[in-house]
Structure 1
Amino acid sequence: MFIDIPSELEAALFDLPLPTWKLDGSFLATSTMERYRAELTAIPRFEETAATLRHALTGEGGGYAVLRLGSLAKELGTDGDRFLRIATGLAAEVAVPFSPFPRWPLWKDIGVKVDKDPGKSSGIGYNAFHMDLVNATLPPDFTTLLCVRPDPLGGGPSILSDAHAAVARLSEGCRALLAETAYHYGTFFDLFGVGEEYKPFPILDGSEPGKGFVRFTAKMLERSELSPAHAEAARELAKELVRGQVCFMLQHGDYLIVNQRRFLHGREALHSGQETVPVAERRLLLQLFLRARADDGAAA
């Protein structure tokens, strides 16, 4: 699931000045995607790499991928737009980039705040398995994280787990409870492109086995009032997710893309001592969401 950029493609990307993107509402404009695709497909080995990426995300047994863009990040820098335009062009080969948060730009910063709830994405503690926008009727089909700076103290590896494989290991009774519309978590306001609030919702959405979203966030176990039976079923799922997890450290320039219909994600705790690290040197990720095209079964 780790994809290295071929040297011929990498060399061409160093000199590729993609134009500034335009948005249609909160979505990347079709004209921008067409321009990016025309520019990118004209360079060596791009289409081969894009096909490898799509297969890793949607092919048999797939569900996530990490594009190794470290050399590009080092050469182009991550402070300007050139590197982000390339990452956006690569993401647009998978699905349509968009921001569900009107008050944020297309790419959203996820930094480190030592006074934040430790379990949040910008906190310093363990960020348990979850899907993003779990309480929306139309969650993003893909969530993506671009590593600008890893934790300088060496903590915070990413964790991922095949949600459907975890569900398959549960008892029939447990799965039946997870399919009931009895779960809720979080708030819902000032969002775009993700449908309506879904409250309560089932963790299993009624699709055939191995299909559809597994609407789970481990935070619901501590922060939502659930019946004992429903809470226990969710705890069993949480255990299976941990049992099947993969763990790796994102390095500078690594671009993680997760198919939310297949995998859930999270993060181990950052290394202790974050308060001693200057804010400008702490771990920094950029997040971008993707919506599958209406005529594309890629996220199924």
Structure 2
Amino acid sequence: MPEISRAWNGFIDLPRELEEGLIEIGRTLPAWNMEGAFLAGSTRERYRAELVAAPLFDDVRDRLLSVLSGATGGYAVVRLGRIAQTLGIEVSFLRLATAILSEVAAPFQPFCRWPLWKEIGTNLDAKPGLSTGTGYNAFHMDLVNATRPPDYTALLCVRPDPLGAGASILSDARAAVSRLTPSSRTLLAEAAYGYGSFFDLCDVGEEYKPFPVLDGEPTNLGFVRFTAKMLAEPGLDEAHAHAARELADRMVAGQVSFTLQRGDVLIVDQHRWVHGREPLGVGQHDVASGERRLLLQLFLRDTGATGPIAS
């Protein structure tokens, strides 16, 4: 069972009857089609027609959407472990997971060179703080330097760390902002921050650099544009760095953590929450490469929303 740092009801366990129905559906779902970077509308319609016929699916979907949109929500974990045990995390399972995520928003892949599901493996040669590294992956939102980042990021656990570490960490970015001093909020609203490169991307707008952490947009449109890695960027003055460090400290103080298990799908609303990962277990060199932690990532766009545009 996942370990979680405080009581929370956002783990979506499926009724056995629904699991059995989804296993049968997963075996017959057709391959998806793409329209540019997005899952084709015809594929979403076909997948939805299959899902709504499954017993109790509407109830589970409604609960998922309620958890994601609720005042204390903003992230959820859909537990598909027993389905993964039957189907394996291969083509049939990925079609089914994609169909379920399509009920939240439109799946798309902003990295033009990658498939719809992007691998996040464990690379012993990568810098420890990167998503593929073995160290602490500090709080961030994905594609922080795009004018239209994905509205949701979804992470599917194919293999947890066999050494028992690498817990996912999340924090309510907007709650953290509310605990800041007024002077820090003023500094964070100024376009003084930057991070990362910007190339070979699709449907995420333009490069946003420098960007403000607080863009002043309503919650459903704006973002708390934060990545701890921006603190190491050259040219950031001490006042703005101090404000960002204060925000980082507030995020850490309010974090939740849990360990994803095989088949778990974590969905994070990027307008409200940031995510990261605790270090993997010591001794990764002793773990065979095919047994190390592996996630798959998929992004979602709320097609009814438009993101903030750099001025």
Asked if these proteins are the same fold (TM beyond 0.5), I'd say: yes
- After TM superposition, give the deviation of residue 275 of structure 1 in Å: 1.1
TM-score (norm 2): 0.93
Q: Deviations over 1:172-197 (max 9, x none)?
A: 11100000011111000000010000
User: SS state of the match for residue 61, structure 1?
Assistant: coil
Tell me how large the CA RMSD over aligned residues is: 1.4
User: Residues 245 and 89 (structure 1 numbering): CA distance in 2 closer, same or farther, change over 3 Å?
Assistant: same
1:29 pairs, out of 32, 35, 40, with 40
Instruction: Confirm whether residue 119 of structure 1 aligns to residue 129 of structure 2.
Output: yes
Q: Deviations over 1:8-60 (max 9, x none)?
A: 11010111121100000110000000000000001111111111111111122
Instruction: Confirm whether residue 286 of structure 1 aligns to residue 299 of structure 2.
Output: no
The residue aligned with 1:48 is 59
Instruction: Confirm whether residue 152 of structure 1 aligns to residue 162 of structure 2.
Output: yes
User: SS state of the match for residue 228, structure 2?
Assistant: coil
Whole-angstrom distance in 2 between the partners of 1:197 and 1:40:
37
- After TM superposition, give the deviation of residue 294 of structure 1 in Å: 2.0
The residue aligned with 2:14 is 5
2:97 pairs, out of 55, 76, 87, with 87
Q: Deviations over 1:115-150 (max 9, x none)?
A: 101000000000000000000000000001000000
- After TM superposition, give the deviation of residue 211 of structure 1 in Å: 6.8
- After TM superposition, give the deviation of residue 212 of structure 1 in Å: 2.3
Whole-angstrom distance in 2 between the partners of 1:48 and 1:183:
42
Whole-angstrom distance in 1 between the partners of 2:114 and 2:160:
22
The letter for the 1-side match of 2:60 is T
Paired residue total: 296
The residue aligned with 1:237 is 247
User: Residues 71 and 92 (structure 1 numbering): CA distance in 2 closer, same or farther, change over 3 Å?
Assistant: same
The residue aligned with 1:67 is 78
Instruction: Confirm whether residue 246 of structure 1 aligns to residue 285 of structure 2.
Output: no
Whole-angstrom distance in 2 between the partners of 1:156 and 1:113:
14
Whether contact under 8 Å (2:170, 2:255) holds in the other structure is yes
Whether contact under 8 Å (2:220, 2:271) holds in the other structure is no
- After TM superposition, give the deviation of residue 234 of structure 1 in Å: 0.1
Whether contact under 8 Å (2:152, 2:268) holds in the other structure is yes
- After TM superposition, give the deviation of residue 222 of structure 1 in Å: 1.8
The letter for the 2-side match of 1:26 is A
Q: Deviations over 1:150-182 (max 9, x none)?
A: 000111000000000000000111100000011
The letter for the 1-side match of 2:193 is Y
User: SS state of the match for residue 129, structure 1?
Assistant: strand
The residue aligned with 1:205 is 215
Q: Deviations over 1:85-140 (max 9, x none)?
A: 11001100000000001111000000000110100000000000000000000000
* Residue segments in structure 1 that go unaligned for 5+ positions in a row: none
Whether contact under 8 Å (1:166, 1:237) holds in the other structure is yes
The residue aligned with 2:145 is 135
- After TM superposition, give the deviation of residue 225 of structure 1 in Å: 2.6
* Residue segments in structure 2 that go unaligned for 5+ positions in a row: 1-9
User: SS state of the match for residue 219, structure 1?
Assistant: helix
